[in-house]
Amino acid sequence: MSHRDLKLRATKAGEKAFGNSWFVDGWSIAPGRLELIGNHTDYNGGPVLAGAIDRVIVMAAGPIEDSSQIRIIAADLRGSVGSCSPIELVDWRSNRKDRGPIVYIKGIVAALMARGIPVRSGVGLAVAGDIPPGFGMSSSAALCLASILSLTADEIPPYEMVAIAREAEHRAGAMVGAMDQSASVAGGVIKFDGRDNTFERIEPDLGEYVFAVADSGVKRSLRTSAYGTRVKETETARMTLAAAYELDLPNLAALVPHWESVEPTINQHLSPTLVARVRHVVTESIRVEQAEVAVKAHDWQRFGDLMDASGRSSAIDYDISHPVVEALVEHIRRNQGVLGARMMGGGNGGPALVLVQRERVDAVRASLAAFYADHPVPHPDRAFYTCTFGPGAHRETI
C-alpha cells in the first residue's frame, strides 16, 4: 500500500475520532524490519543482520481541544480512542491491563520525560500501517519510533531514539533488545552489535534472489509469548557460567570464544534446557558472522544454508517456534529455487522468512494453496509477499 493511501486512511480515522476541526500538522513514518539472521541474539550481546522494509507505520499528528491530553486512534484496529495525560505518566509501567497502541504511547511519554525531553500534549494521533501485526516485523518498534517523531520537536540522535523506543517497549511489558529499533531508525540493511547496541550499514547485492515472507496464520505477541521467559533463562545461564568457569561474561554471546573448552562440561552446571538455550545463542552468533561473510561474497546459497540452520536451532534449542510455522517452513523448502527458510521474529507463531529466486516467487506462492487448505490464514491472497529494503524512520512536512 502506498504512503499516500496510508496517509488518507490515517486522516479519515483522525477526523472521525477527533472531529472535523482536527487537522494534520505533521507526519511521521517508521518502517518495520526483517531479521535476516540472528534470532534472539541481540539481547544476549550477539550480532544480527537485519533490514528495514518497505512496510511502514504512518502517524498523523494534529491539535485537539484538551491541551493536557494525548489521544490516539488506529485506523486498522476497531478499538476505541486511547488517551493519556503526560503529567500522570511519570515512572509509568504497564500493569498488563492496558491494551492497544496507547500502551506504547504511554511508554514513549514516560521514557521521554525520564530524559527531560519536552513532550507535545493537546494532540491527536492517527495511525495507519501495512506492517502486519504478529508477523515478526516489529510493528511495535515502528509505532514507538513514529510516536517519538510525532511527540517531540527537536532532532533526537539515532542511538538515543533507539534507547527511548526500547525503553518504551520495556515499560509496556515487552523485554526486547535494541535491534528492531536500530533497523527501523537506520533504514536499509544493518549489522547490529548486541554488545553495545551499535550498528553499521551494509549493502547486500541480492542479484537474482529476494527475501519473502509467508503467513503461518498463527498470531503472536511479544507481551504474551515465551520471549520474556527466554530473556530470564539466558540471564540465569550467563550468571551461572560466569561463576562456574570464572569468566568475564558481560553477556551470553561473550561465551563464543570459550565455547570449545566450556561445552564438554557445561552439563555439570546447567540443566539440559539451559544448555540448549546457551547452545543456540553461541551457534547463532557464529552463524551471523558467517552470514556476513557470505553476503559480502554474494554467496546466497551459503546464506540460505545458514538460514536453515538458524531455523532448526531456534525451533529445537531455543524452543521458540510453533508446529504450524515449522510445517510451513518444511513445505516451502520443498520448492525449487528456495535457498533457505526459517521461522522469524520472537517466536510462538508469526511468519516464515524465505530466500528464493525472484523468478520462482509465483511458483512458491501457488504451492502454498495446498498448505493453506489444511492451515487456513485470514487472507490467503496476501499470505506470501516479497519485501524490499527501505529508508529509516523520518518526519514528513505537510
Residues tagged active-site:
180
Strand order of the β-sheet with 352-357 is: 338-343, 352-357, 209-214, 384-387
* Beta strand 338-343 pairing with 82-84: unpaired
Q: What is the DSSP secondary structure assignment for residue 232, as one 8-state letter?
A: H
Tell me whether residue 202 is exposed, middle or buried, using C-beta atoms within 10 angstroms of its C-beta: 0 to 12, 13 to 18, 19 or more: middle
DSSP assignment of 315-368: HHTS----HHHHHHHHHHHTSTTEEEEEE-SSSSS--EEEEEEGGGHHHHHHHH
Q: Which residues pair with 85 in a beta bridge?
A: none
What contacts 386, CB < 8 A, 6 or more positions away? 210, 211, 212, 213, 358, 361
- Burial class from Cβ neighbours inside 10 Å (0-12, 13-18, 19+) for residue 214 reads buried
Using DSSP's 3-state secondary structure scheme, residue 42 falls into helix
Dist CA 64 CA 13 (whole Å): 14
C-alpha cell of 54? 518497505
Instruction: List phi, psi (to 5°) of 74.
Output: -110, 120
